[in-house]
Amino acid sequence: MKWPEFQKLIESRNFGGKISKDDLPTPALVVDLDIFEANLNKMASHLNAAGKGFRPHAKTHKCVEIAEACIRVGAVGTCTAKISEAEVFAASGLSGLLVTTPLVGSWRIERAVALALDKPDTIYCADHPANVDMLSEAAKAAGIELNVAIDLLVGGRTGIEPGKEALQLAQKIDTAANLRFAGIQAFAGPCAHTHGFEARKGASEAAMSLAVDTRILIERSGIGCRWLSGSSTGAYNIDSAIDGVTELQPGSFLFMDIDYAGIGGINNSVEFDDFGFSLSVITTVFSKPSKSVAIVDAGFKAFSTDRPFPPRLKTGDSKYNWAGDEHGRLDLNATDRSVELGDRLEFLAPHCDPTVNLYDSIYGVRGQQLEAVWKIAARGMTT
Ligand SMILES: Cc1ncc(COP(=O)(O)O)c(C=O)c1O
């Protein structure tokens, strides 16, 4: 297909059946819609059967169309890491927002108040008494009520210590002017990536039992604590079986990545394959310096670089090595597959969230056909 024709079809949004995967300019971030939908339906029905709420984390995809797809299969809302991400989803009409990171800084709190005026069911998190004061003062000044949960330290990065300290924070939120105590948010990040199902189960159960015990402690003090949200892709089938956890907030299951696949599945399987690889990056071989080397047009700016391993060919055994911002080097010594100039090669990302954040849009394909172009609307929303 000629480039102007491609541009015209994309602009007109009238490309159904007219653009194939092979027409996409590379590097192209692609989601296989059959696999994506299977991942989404599997998680939604698992949590539905377990009687748990489902509020997927949009830090993975930063995309309004994907958040909407989650709501269509029963999600109660959307998690965001940042207030600026939440603003994008609110502006598109979504509610049920949970900002999972504490809001410190007047620009964050002022925006949180403004957003709550429009979306009063938004939940914010605090892990420090001084932060509760900041939120309370801002809400009072605006004459509105904010829903505030405690962010609990259960092995993640932020949060207040479970038990007595958390109870005191809950009491402070409960009595603070213009705040409504929302419950507990407890994200045990490292547990999700523990290798081996039994080890992961032990780690996640230990972490989440701290949250459940804290919930009971708060309830016994006379403060209603009906909501406890947490968990992740790696612990979805562990935390969903824990009494007292009311809602799960996984994100990566939508796309999957090499990192997550390596944590191991149930029954000691080496690969965690409960969810399929829906995300990939299509590249083009744009240099062939020798028989045993092919250079593709995707380097540090096309894949996340935060993991100690490089991208992997979706099918095939040639090894990718980083070769610069815009370059990747394929070592062809280990394969008899012939790779020629202009060939298009598809790779899995080391880590999905930061890879997606490198692109303006994601191409949704079904089989070989382009079916959707979704803007990564909250890309770069870091504040
Ligand atoms: C607070 C919080 N909740 C949920 C998630 C989703 O985790 P995962 O992508 O492992 O499913 C994350 C990811 O970092 C997170 O930070």
- What is the average pLDDT across 48-69? 98
What are the start-end ranges of the E strands in 177-251? 179-186, 228-230, 247-248
Cβ of 355 closer than 6 Å to ligand 1, yes or no, is no
- Classify residue 238 by its DSSP letter: H
Report the alpha-carbon distance of residue 84 to residue 378 in Å, rounded: 8
**Mutate which of 39, 40, 52, 57 for ligand 1 pocket (most atoms within 8 A of beta carbon):** 57
pTM, two decimals, is: 0.97
| Tens digits of residue pLDDT in 91-137 | 999 999 999 999 999 999 999 999 999 999 999 999 999 999 999 99
Residue 226 confidence (pLDDT) = 96
Residue 21 confidence (pLDDT) = 97
Residue 285 confidence (pLDDT) = 98
Cβ of 318 closer than 6 Å to ligand 1, yes or no, is no
Taking CA atoms, 70 is separated from 21, 78, 204, in Å, by: 25, 8, 25
Residues of the chain with pLDDT > 90, as a percent, come to 95
**Mutate which of 78, 154, 249, 272 for ligand 1 pocket (most atoms within 8 A of beta carbon):** 249
Cβ of 251 closer than 6 Å to ligand 1, yes or no, is yes
CA within 13 Å, CB half, 220? 9
Written as six digits, the tokens of 375 are 């803007």
- Average model confidence (pLDDT) across the chain: 97
Answer for the pair 234, 272: CB distance below 8 angstroms, yes or no: yes
Domains of the chain: 3-30+274-375 (2.40.37.20), 34-257 (3.20.20.10)
Query: What is the number of the ligand 1 atom nearest to the C-alpha of 187?
Result: 1
Query: What is the number of the ligand 1 atom nearest to the C-alpha of 353?
Result: 9
**Mutate which of 232, 278, 279 for ligand 1 pocket (most atoms within 8 A of beta carbon):** 232
Residue 318 confidence (pLDDT) = 87
Say yes or no to pLDDT of 334 above 80.
no
Cβ of 260 closer than 6 Å to ligand 1, yes or no, is no
Say yes or no to pLDDT of 336 above 80.
no
- What is the average pLDDT across 58-69? 98
Say yes or no to pLDDT of 279 above 80.
yes
| Tens digits of residue pLDDT in 370-381 | 999 999 999 999
Taking CA atoms, 155 is separated from 66, 115, 151, 187, 207, in Å, by: 29, 30, 12, 8, 7
* Out of 114-123, 252-261, 313-322, least confident range: 313-322
Q: Which amino acid is at 109?
A: I
Query: What is the number of the ligand 1 atom nearest to the C-alpha of 189?
Result: 14
Cβ of 354 closer than 6 Å to ligand 1, yes or no, is no
- DSSP strand pairing (328-331 vs 293-296): antiparallel
Residue 236: enclosing H or E segment and its boundaries? helix 236-239
Answer for the pair 233, 260: CB distance below 8 angstroms, yes or no: yes
Q: Which amino acid is at 267?
A: N
| Tens digits of residue pLDDT in 343-379 | 999 999 999 999 999 999 999 999 999 999 999 999 9
For ligand 1, atom 14, the nearest C-alpha belongs to: 189
Taking CA atoms, 173 is separated from 105, 111, 181, 350, in Å, by: 18, 20, 6, 40
Cβ of 229 closer than 6 Å to ligand 1, yes or no, is no
Residue 337 confidence (pLDDT) = 81
